[in-house]
Structure 1
């Protein structure tokens, strides 16, 4: 059984990330598991690494039992999860605390994870096809987020550049540091021209 069971539910999309210093549970999945959000313990400690260049503030923290194995040989431990409210393609991220608690040994070449169980070594794994599908889904999700942010930024820039509808098309506004002079100084009602006041006397 490659997929862990957290609480009463089996998670089919779990990212095992030994480089992460914490384990993360997404609020949407927590709701589907039937866990009331009032069970969350408040926390004010933000963390980094999920959204590049930005800090994330969790909704709270919760301790949940997690089991690896099958009905003949399994092991259960309680892990502490940071619960976050933003969207992601995974159900949960199991970080370094999970590796340490289960004394898990990963092999990234074969996509295997070995855990010491009560009746021997529990071997977990997945297929390369499934790993590829998850990677494609994550890339598509990330691209959609980037595209939506770029679109929002583009709309903001376009809004700033929208011309004032009250101004006449083709109307001209003189720049700062300019003055109007008569084309013909002998005429008081003749045509005028704008000349920059910052120009040299030459």
Structure 2
């Protein structure tokens, strides 16, 4: 965007939700004007953005502060964002194929980041542990709160079962 670093402000804390289970540490913050719709019916507000230094499928993430400022209502089912404008309702739309591509890219990025951070934490000194799932250890053992029974889930293969509680209500 060719914004000089002098325009960026220091930021006080990390944010969550971009990478599952991990914090993101922004480099800085910046206030930018955001406009929705066309000249005939538009809304403009100044929003604060966190500037981060990692690739992502999203160029900007608009969340609750944006929705509150614009009095916008997102509808995730129909991929629409609606807000009041001076000449009627402003509707911002997307397509399911575009949303799918963004989600797939975000999933791949998040998985790569999580995997790389987990690998760094393991280090070279750790020794691999091989678990035999047929012989559960005491820490792996599942202990139900009530009695259970095995119920078959595949009529063609009697070894495929699931355990359910015997005290469940029949409704």
SS at match of 1:85: coil
TM-score computed with the length of structure 2 as normaliser:
0.64
- Structure 1 partner of 2:98: 130
Of structures 1 and 2, the one with the larger relative CO (CA 8 A, separation 6+) is 1
- Structure 1 partner of 2:87: 119
Displacement, 1:146?
3.2
**CA separation of 1:141/1:34 partners in 2, compared to 1, >3 Å: closer, same or farther?**
same
- Structure 1 partner of 2:41: 73
Q: Number of paired residues?
A: 128
SS at match of 2:109: helix
Q: CA RMSD in A?
A: 2.4
After TM superposition, what 4+ stretches of structure 1 lie above 6 angstroms from structure 2? none
Specify every segment of 5 or more residues in structure 2 that has no aligned partner in the other structure, as ranges.
129-171
Partner Cα separation in structure 1 for residue 25 and residue 105 of structure 2: 24
TM-score computed with the length of structure 1 as normaliser:
0.55
**CA separation of 1:105/1:54 partners in 2, compared to 1, >3 Å: closer, same or farther?**
closer
Specify every segment of 5 or more residues in structure 1 that has no aligned partner in the other structure, as ranges.
1-32, 162-202
**CA separation of 1:122/1:66 partners in 2, compared to 1, >3 Å: closer, same or farther?**
same
Partner Cα separation in structure 2 for residue 35 and residue 151 of structure 1: 35
